């Protein structure tokens, strides 16, 4: 249940197309629904602009399917199940028709396309699963990221050949393992916000992602945002929060201008 739905509901009550009792019935499950094993947060999209997402690991297939059903029963934006096993995916799709599976991420009710330009750069082929997770989450929310695959710093000319693409972006996500240097390079080539994702790809001294994590946190490119190891989902959410904040600021500026006029 998102802000647009609540606003429309209030407008419908005001103009008489929806009764107060019907509105109360639709709002009754705010702020959460207690399923016994989970309290599904229907209020999250109103607070954060992003709905609750179902994280698969640790849940039974039936629990995953039930939470997805609860989210779908309420109007609003996309519904996602992430890091799902084959059994979780099969059960959730079987009990909730209309979803699509993209590897370990399932999406129901994807958002309509939006205009912001996101570049998603993966340093190496081994980083693609994490980049793919990020890309699916962005796509579920209406964004179509431009992919730059295998542009790591071991062949610096590969990313330098994409400078114009980076310069035109509204946000860039960099996914890199090994020593994680690609985030600093990209951060020095674009004015767009950069979200860096360290991955666990690499040899022994990469320490399963700790080395690129620390390198990205220590980046000489000022202002690079860093999420946790292998967290493509979190990187996508960081971009979505950024755009949400920009949209709110633009709306407030427009309203102020209209009032001043």
Q: pLDDT digits over 61-94, tens only? A: 999 999 999 999 887 789 999 999 999 999 999 9
Which DSSP category does 55 fall into? E
Quote the CA–CA distance of 136 and 104 in Å, as a whole number: 10
Residue 162 in contact with residue 192, Cβ under 8 Å? Answer: no
User: pTM for this structure?
Assistant: 0.82
Residue 120 in contact with residue 134, Cβ under 8 Å? Answer: yes
59 and 26 within one domain: yes
Q: Name the phi and psi angles at 70, rounded to 5.
A: -60, -40
126 and 21 within one domain: no
Query: What are 205-260's pLDDT values in tens digits?
Result: 999 999 999 999 999 999 999 999 999 999 999 999 999 876 655 555 554 565 56
Mean pLDDT, residues 166-180 taken together: 96
Which DSSP category does 198 fall into? E
Quote the CA–CA distance of 229 and 239 in Å, as a whole number: 17
123 and 104 within one domain: no
181 and 76 within one domain: no
pLDDT for the residue numbered 248: 54
The residues facing 146 across adjacent strands are 119
167 and 66 within one domain: no
Residue 175: inside a domain, yes or no?
yes
Query: What are 26-38's pLDDT values in tens digits?
Result: 666 567 777 888 8
The residue with tokens 């750069």 is 121
147 and 43 within one domain: no
Residue 179 in contact with residue 217, Cβ under 8 Å? Answer: no
Final residue of a domain: which of 49, 76, 110?
110
Final residue of a domain: which of 76, 110, 144?
110
pLDDT for the residue numbered 259: 58
The residue with tokens 């916000």 is 193
CB atoms inside a 10 Å sphere around CB 37 = 11
123 and 236 within one domain: yes
Token representation of residue 14: 């005001």
124 and 22 within one domain: no
Q: Give the alpha-carbon dihedral of 194, 191, 121, 248, to 10 degrees.
A: 60
pLDDT for the residue numbered 76: 78
84 and 167 within one domain: no
Rounded to 5°, angle at Cα 11 from 13 and 242: 135
pLDDT for the residue numbered 44: 76
Query: What are 3-27's pLDDT values in tens digits?
Result: 666 777 788 888 888 888 777 666 6
Token representation of residue 226: 């860093």
CA nearest to 51, candidates 132, 119, 137: 137
Number of domains in the chain: 2
Segments forming the whole domain that contains residue 160: 118-242
Q: What is the CA radius of gyration of the chain?
A: 20
Residue 75: inside a domain, yes or no?
yes
CA nearest to 152, candidates 98, 100, 206: 206
Query: What are 43-58's pLDDT values in tens digits?
Result: 777 677 777 899 999 9
Final residue of a domain: which of 94, 110, 126?
110
Quote the CA–CA distance of 144 and 135 in Å, as a whole number: 8
């Amino acid at each position: 249940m998102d802000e647009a739905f609540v606003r429309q509901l209030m407008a419908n009550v005001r103009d008489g197309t929806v009764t107060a009792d019907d509105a109360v019935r639709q709002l009754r499950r705010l702020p959460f629904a207690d399923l016994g094993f989970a309290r599904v947060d229907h209020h999250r999209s109103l607070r954060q602009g992003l709905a609750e997402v179902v994280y698969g690991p640790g849940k039974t297939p039936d629990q995953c399917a039930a939470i997805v059903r609860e989210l779908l029963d309420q109007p609003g934006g996309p519904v996602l199940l992430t890091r799902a096993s084959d059994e979780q995916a099969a059960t959730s799709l079987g009990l909730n028709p209309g979803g699509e599976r993209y590897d370990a991420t399932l999406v129901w009710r994807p958002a309509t396309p939006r205009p912001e330009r996101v570049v998603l750069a993966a340093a190496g082929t081994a980083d693609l699963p994490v980049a793919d997770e990020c890309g699916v989450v962005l796509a579920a929310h209406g964004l179509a990221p431009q992919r730059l695959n295998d542009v790591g710093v071991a062949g610096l000319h590969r990313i330098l050949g994409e400078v114009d693409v980076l310069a035109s972006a509204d946000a860039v996500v960099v996914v890199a393992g090994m020593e994680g240097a690609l985030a600093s390079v990209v951060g020095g080539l674009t004015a767009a916000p950069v979200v860096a994702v360290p991955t666990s790809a690499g040899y022994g001294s990469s320490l399963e992602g700790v080395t690129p994590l620390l390198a990205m946190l220590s980046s000489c490119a000022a202002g690079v945002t860093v999420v946790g190891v292998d967290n493509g989902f979190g990187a996508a959410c960081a971009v979505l929060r950024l755009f949400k904040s920009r949209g709110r600021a633009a709306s407030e500026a427009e309203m102020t201008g209209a009032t001043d006029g």
